[in-house]
Amino acid sequence: MVITRFAPSPTGYLHIGGLRTALFSYLWAKKNNGKFFLRIEDTDKARNSLEAAEAIVKAFEWLGLAHDGEILYQSNRDEIYAKYIQQLLDEGKAYYCYMSKEELSQLRETQMAAKERTMYNGKYRDFDGTPPEGIEPAIRIKAPQSGTITVKDGVKGDVVFNALDILDDFIIARADGSPTYNFVVAVDDALMGVNEVIRGDDHLSNTPKQIIVYEALGFELPKFYHVPMIHNHEGKKLSKRDGATDVMEYKEMGYTPEALLNFLVRLGWSHGDQEIFSMEEMIELFNPKDINKSASIYNTDKLDWLNAHYIKNTPNAKLAELLTQYNLILTSHDKKEILLDVVKERAKTLKEMRGLINEILIAPISYDENAVKKAFKGEAVEVLKAFKEKVNASDELHLPSDYHTVMENVVNEMGIGFGKIGQPLRIALLGKLSGPGLDSVMAIIGKDETMLRIQNAITAHA
C-alpha cells in the first residue's frame, strides 16, 4: 500500500509551495488506494504555535483535502523518540558527547581559520573514560566516516553524497534531551509506515542524514521524490512580493479550491498539454515519476484564467453558497439565476463577482461625468422619459427579453438607433458605460427600481 504524508512545521501560515507537495502526496495516495497522513512537526517550541497548526488544518478543510487517520503531533511523541534514542545508545550506534559549547565553538573557529569544513571532530565517538563534570551531554549518532550515501530519488535520479563532504556525527538529542529534526522525521516516517516521501528539494540535503537514522534503526527506506521549487518570473524562489503565498489569502482574494489545486498540480507536473484537471482526473493521471526536473514558474494570469473557468462552470446554487463567504447573501433574491448567469461569465474571482453583483444591485450614487457628457446629448432625456413611460405601462416585465422588447418599441417609434437609448439608460442604471447587458440588469432589479433609477438620472441631467 502506498502511504504518503504531509509534514508541515507550524511556524506560520500554510505556504503554497508546501500545499503543492501536499497535493502531490494526496493524489498519489488516492490513486493507489493508499493513505495520506498529516503530521505536524511542532518540536521547535520557540518557533511553533498552536494557531499556526490550526491554520494549516483549516486550509486543508477549505481545500477539501482530507487526510487519513488522526493528525499526528510530534510534540506528543517525546517518549517514542526517547525510546529509539536509547536503543541506539544501547546498540553503540549513538553516544553521549560532552563537548561544551565553548569547546565546540573553538573547534569551529580553528576549522574556519584553516578553511576546512566545520564539523564535529569525533572526540567522544569511542570515548570510554570518565566524563567531564558539569556538562549535560548531547547525543550524537555514528555516521559513516567514509564512502558514500546515495539518495535514490524518483525525480532527480541517484544523488550521491560523499560521507566525508557532508556528514559528521550529528546530534540526535540535545543536551536538554529534545530530539532533533532529522531524527524525528525519519523515526516518524518509519513508524507511520510512510513509504513514499514527496517533499520540496530544499530538503534533499537532509535526506542522507535521515537515511543514516533509518539504517541505524533497521527501518526500511521509503522512496523519495524531491520536487523542484516554485520560482517567480525572475527565476528566484517565490516570495511574498510575488503575490500571496499563504493559502488562506487565496481564499480571501476569491479563488476557488478547485482552481487553486488545478493551478498547483500544473506547477511542476504535466500531462501532455492538458491544463484543466478535475480532482478525479488529477487522481487518475498523477504520477510522481512525471514531476519535472526543473523549477516551475508561478504565473498569476494562469491562476486567474483557471479561476474564471471554474466560476463559469460552477452551478449557481453553489456559487450563491460560496458568495456567502464573501458576505453576499443572495438567497432571497428572486432573480438570482439571471444575476449569477450574467456575472459568472465576467468575473475572474469570487470577490470580483461580488463587486459586479453589487454594481448591479446597488443604485449608482454618482455618475461617471465623462460618460454622461457622451451619453446625454441631444434627445437623451426625451428617450429616457419615453422608455420609462412604456415600462410603467407594461404589466408583464419579468425576463430580460421583456425589457428588450420595450427598448425595441422605443427605438422603432422614435426612429432612433439603439445607442441613443442604450448609452443614457446605461448611465441611469449603472452610472457608467461599461457592464453587463441592460435587459438583464433591468430584469434583475425589477420594474420599480428601473423606473426609479431612470427618474434619478433624468432629474440629475435634465
Q: Least Å distance between CB 8 and ligand GLU?
A: 5
Quick one: which of 290, 237, 241 has its CA closest to 266? Answer: 290
CA 298 – CA 358 distance, rounded (Å): 31
Backbone angles phi, psi at 137, to 5 degrees: -80, 150
Q: Least Å distance between CB 234 and ligand GLU?
A: 23
9 is an interface residue for ligand GLU by CB under 6 A: yes
Q: Least Å distance between CB 41 and ligand GLU?
A: 4
- Residues in contact with ligand GLU, counted by CB under 6 A, come to a total of 7
CA 333 – CA 444 distance, rounded (Å): 9
> Is residue 240 flagged as an active site residue?
yes
Q: Least Å distance between CB 7 and ligand GLU?
A: 4
228 is an interface residue for ligand GLU by CB under 6 A: no
Q: Which residue is nearest to ligand GLU (CB)?
A: 199
Please, which of residues 132-191 interact with ligand GLU by CB under 6 A? 185
Instruction: Select from 4-12, 24-32, 385-393, 412-420 the region that touches ligand GLU (CB under 6 A).
Output: 4-12
Closer residue to ligand GLU in complex, CB, 225/310: 225
41 is an interface residue for ligand GLU by CB under 6 A: yes
Block residue for cell numbers 550515501: 149
Closer residue to ligand GLU in complex, CB, 171/185: 185
CA 410 – CA 416 distance, rounded (Å): 8
Among 31, 108, 123, 203, binds ligand GLU (CB under 6 A): 203
7 is an interface residue for ligand GLU by CB under 6 A: yes
8 is an interface residue for ligand GLU by CB under 6 A: yes
201 is an interface residue for ligand GLU by CB under 6 A: no
Identify whether the C-beta of residue 263 lies closer than 8 Å to the C-beta of residue 301: no
Q: Least Å distance between CB 196 and ligand GLU?
A: 12
258 is an interface residue for ligand GLU by CB under 6 A: no
Closer residue to ligand GLU in complex, CB, 171/384: 171
CA 356 – CA 337 distance, rounded (Å): 15
199 is an interface residue for ligand GLU by CB under 6 A: yes
Q: What is the DSSP string of 141-174?
A: E---SSSEEEEEETTTEEEEEEHHHH----EEE-
- As a whole number of Å, the end-to-end CA separation of the chain is 77
Helices (H), 114-228: 163-166, 181-191, 207-217
Choice among 101, 115, 240, 289 that is catalytic: 240
CA 82 – CA 77 distance, rounded (Å): 9
Give the number of other CB atoms < 10 A from CB of residue 356. 19
Instruction: Count Cβ atoms within 10 A of the Cβ of residue 260 and give its class: 0-12 exposed, 13-18 middle, 19 or more buried.
Output: buried
Amino acid letter for position 81: Y
19 is an interface residue for ligand GLU by CB under 6 A: no
CA 164 – CA 146 distance, rounded (Å): 6
Instruction: Select from 3-11, 69-77, 128-136, 248-256 the region that touches ligand GLU (CB under 6 A).
Output: 3-11
67 is an interface residue for ligand GLU by CB under 6 A: no
CA 187 – CA 211 distance, rounded (Å): 10
Task: Identify the three-state secondary structure at position 377.
Answer: coil
Closer residue to ligand GLU in complex, CB, 41/258: 41
Instruction: Select from 7-15, 353-361, 382-390, 425-433 the region that touches ligand GLU (CB under 6 A).
Output: 7-15
Binding site for ligand GLU (CB under 6 A): 7-9, 41, 185, 199, 203
| Catalytic residue ranges | 240
